[in-house]
A and B are shown apart, each in its own frame.
Chain A
Amino acid sequence: MLRLEHISVAYGKHQALHDVTVDIAPSRATAILGANGAGKSTLLKTVAGLVRPKPGGRILFYDRPIEQEAPHRIVEAGIALVPEGRRLFGEMSVIDNLRIGAYPERARAGESERLERQLTLFPRLAERRQQLAKTMSGGEQQMLAIARALMSEPKILLLDEPSLGLSPRLVSDLFSVLRRLTEGGQSIVMVEQNAYQSLKLADHVYVIDNGRIASAGTPEEMRQDKMIQKAYLGL
């Protein structure tokens, strides 16, 4: 459903991605592993239209090129990003943050129904409907950021380090929510440092190294890889 072909990205002279080709299949969870600075976040940002690839690369979403689309058009097409560091609207309430998530035209019909679904999925948010986003704890904020992205009814949900700064228990909670989403048919692409949990959740894994796709395969294959064990699983 989503295909990146020969994508290269540079920040000034610093080349973050070199000729990356990635294929994302529908209704699956894809995990992207890699060291800090390897280019994982850049990859997600490029898909979301926040960073422009160099000429020559293409990003096809259901065979339609989107690499030059504005970020809001990409959300409209069905790709939602949960950015690193949550990036909520701090002065707005939980409910208002969620409503903003349904801003794309495609997502406006059925907004209240979807809102209820998020509040069921994240009961904590239901308890805190009227609270200002900035006053919530890190874990609650992360849940809200995911729920806000889901409000746009994305065909693909992109998650950039969702477990960052969460307590061990919340990390488990987060991954069980993600598991429920994928079991419900939601396609997910996530960048994570928690390789252990990511490999449990994912159907397919890419490893990015120094801006290039270093390997790809099923979680089982990855777990067998000595280098992956050493660098990402700490074995």
Chain B
Amino acid sequence: MADRSKRLAFLAATIGVAILAALPLGLSAYGVSTGIVYFANIALATAWAFFSGPTRYVSLATAAFVGVGMYTVAVAHVSLNLTVCLALAAIIGFVFALIVGPSTLRLRGVYFVIFTFGLTELMRQVSSWYEINVTNKLNRFITISIDSTTIYEMLLVLAAVAVVGSWHVSTTRLGYALRAIGEDETVARHTGVNATWTKVLVFAIAASMMSLVGGVYALRYPSIDPTVGFSNGWSFQVLIAALLGGPGRPWGPAIGAVLLVLLSDFLVGAFSRYFTIALGVCFVIIVYFIPGGIAPRIEQLYGVLARARQPARSASGARAPQEPPADEATADKVAGSEMREVVPRRRSALHPLMRRLTRSGPKLVVRGGAAPPPGAMLSVHGLRKAFGGLIAVRDLSFDIPAGGVTGLIGPNGSGKTTVLNLITGELQPDAGSILFEGDEIIGARSFEICHARIARTFQLVRVLPGMTTRENVMLGRMFGSDPTGPAAAQSDADTLLDRVDLADRAQLIGSQLTYIDQKRVELARALATRPQLLLLDEWLAGLNPTELKIGIDLIRTIQREGVTVLMVEHVMEAIRALCDHVVVMSAGMKIAEGTAAEVLSDPKVTQVYLGDDDAAA
């Protein structure tokens, strides 16, 4: 079904483009030049949303890249043929973005917006200065003569390439990486995404398209000057078009661009003297009533129509994949028999994980390569980290034996999470070393640590809220230590989801999941990266005794299947049940180490950590 509608859409698009390509034969000069404006805006808005849509970096640098393209053509067409000029425009735009990208993309939020706005200003000032002081002429004449129909056809091709290209990329690994970066960059890095490189690359691809459009568009003008080339109008128009259409959908910006040009044309005719005001009022109305853009609304409408066409199917058939989680009553019916044995009356006081307790599922972990060497898998030595005056970790040394479960316990604020952050490259230590299977990993970036086969979960759960359960887990598989494409990742993700009993919630988006389900998604995502060492940060917090037992069994299974585990935990029952080796921290230092029984009976530990009353046992 999905495949058929995809093919249909593709067919319709091809026919549409073919008709549009043939149109100039019958169009007036006005018609052709309107088409040029439409296509240029579609290509630019799509290119803008290609980067800014998923990553949510709002760029106002469109005009800078358009200007670079215009100037490349204006300068080069004197001596080179047009094709070479346009290729140059694309390359220079790409390289320019590669140069400004790494510094710009460190900025977030409003700083990024201002920097990109400033970039256009800078380019305009520099080009003005150059033209005035070096060439002594503000205008560069375009001497090539080319008819509008050719420009029309070129921009049509660019618009089609932009839309199809960005639609295609959204289904690839790169597309998932971009979305993950937009949702939560830290998680993306810890799941193996090289976020910096991905952002710069995509920023540069989008810039290259913008410069190419600028290069073609320049051919319409008799001459180029800095105010035409680097006009901020482009940046804002493109931004508005993309937001109007909906930057979250590949074809949203294109619709937005068409509507924006239509609207502008209509308003110029109807309220010529108050054009800007009228346009502004329209935007306010649009943003207020359809904040997500038009594209999602159209999809909704399409969904409603499709459902209306097939009433029998949805009424009788299986659950539609988008449906919210089986409500617990239904879930209980499925699992009823197993649950009843455990607790006769109120079965759903138990967590659904219970149902899978005895079931032997597929292996959680696929091990590649040789078994780890005996002895320490991870060796921390002399580790120190200070935040200003506060020393969070001081002179900490401990080993994590391969194949076991090591517990890291201590009072809140004793530096346990900081240790995890130091191991995963989220923080860099001030001193010390961390050897993973004999290799120093200090200085490695988070995504490299993930590739080295260390995975983690987060203390405050960090499920990507706008991606589905399945997509969250797929990310781990696609970017982890043994990366694959989306199709293979999906089947592996489903296997893992089945194992943590989230299969019926695979299509729910992260923000719809309950707290405990989010924790399970995080665990599945971490396992999907195929770790040798799994770091759990209070993964068992907030469970009732029954759920706790299930959680403990799950960790035990993971360990039996060959993953070494380091768990930060306050639940003493879990520490006693799982850990063969426990490290106790207080105020950044190690105060005890040994078996669970040893450390928990240590008077020092009792005093700073357990208190008189073994409260959370």
Contacts and interface: CB of A to CB of B under 8 A. Distances in A.
Interface of A: 11-15, 34-38, 41, 84-85, 135-140, 161, 163-173, 175, 193-197, 207, 209-211, 214, 227, 230-234
B413 A231 contact: no
Given A166-B412, A234-B548, A173 B514 contact: no
B346 A135 contact: no
Contacts of B343: 227, 230-231
A168 B610 contact: yes
13 contacts: A11-B324, A12-B512, A35-B349, A35-B547, A36-B544, A38-B349, A161-B542, A166-B616, A169-B615, A193-B543, A209-B346, A233-B545, A234-B573
Given A36-B544, A36-B547, A197-B615, 8 more contacts: A11-B324, A35-B544, A36-B351, A137-B413, A161-B542, A172-B611, A227-B349, A231-B346
Contacts of A85: 460
A14 B513 CA distance: 11
Contacts of A161: 542
Contacts of A214: 346, 349
B613 A172 contact: yes
Interface of B: 323-325, 327-329, 332, 343-346, 348-351, 387, 390, 409-414, 459-460, 512, 514-517, 538, 541-549, 570, 572-573, 608-617
Contacts of A234: 545-546, 548-549, 573
Contacts of B570: 165-168, 171
Given A168-B572, A209-B346, A232-B544, A194 B324 contact: no
A170 B548 CA distance: 20
Nearest to A135: B387
A233 B616 CA distance: 11
- Closest CB pairs A-B (n = 8): A137-B413, A234-B545, A169-B611, A139-B412, A137-B412, A36-B516, A171-B615, A210-B348
A150 B253 CA distance: 48
A140 B542 CA distance: 18
B346 A14 contact: no
Nearest to A13: B324
A139 B544 contact: no
Given A36-B544, A172-B613, A211 B328 contact: yes
Nearest to B573: A234
B325 A14 contact: yes
Contacts of B516: 36-37
Given A34-B349, A35-B350, A38-B348, A140 B412 contact: yes
A210 B329 contact: yes
A204 B522 CA distance: 36
A193 B545 CA distance: 8
B471 to A, nearest CB: 19
A193 B542 contact: yes
A169 B411 contact: yes
B464 to A, nearest CB: 17
Contacts of B387: 135
A231 B545 contact: yes
Contacts of A194: 615-616
A168 B349 contact: no
Contact of B324 (A12, A196, A232): A12
A89 B387 CA distance: 20
B412 A170 contact: yes
A36 B573 CA distance: 19
A231 B323 CA distance: 30
A146 B234 CA distance: 50
A33 B343 CA distance: 16
Given A37-B328, A173-B611, A231-B346, A168 B541 contact: no
Contacts of B512: 11-12
Question: Which residue, B350, B545, B610, B614, has most C-beta atoms of chain A within 10 A?
Answer: B545
A194 B613 CA distance: 13
Contacts of A38: 348-349
A79 B347 CA distance: 33
B413 A14 contact: no
B610 A138 contact: no
Contacts of A35: 348-351, 544, 546-547
Question: Which residue, A84, A135, A233, has most C-beta atoms of chain B within 10 A?
Answer: A135
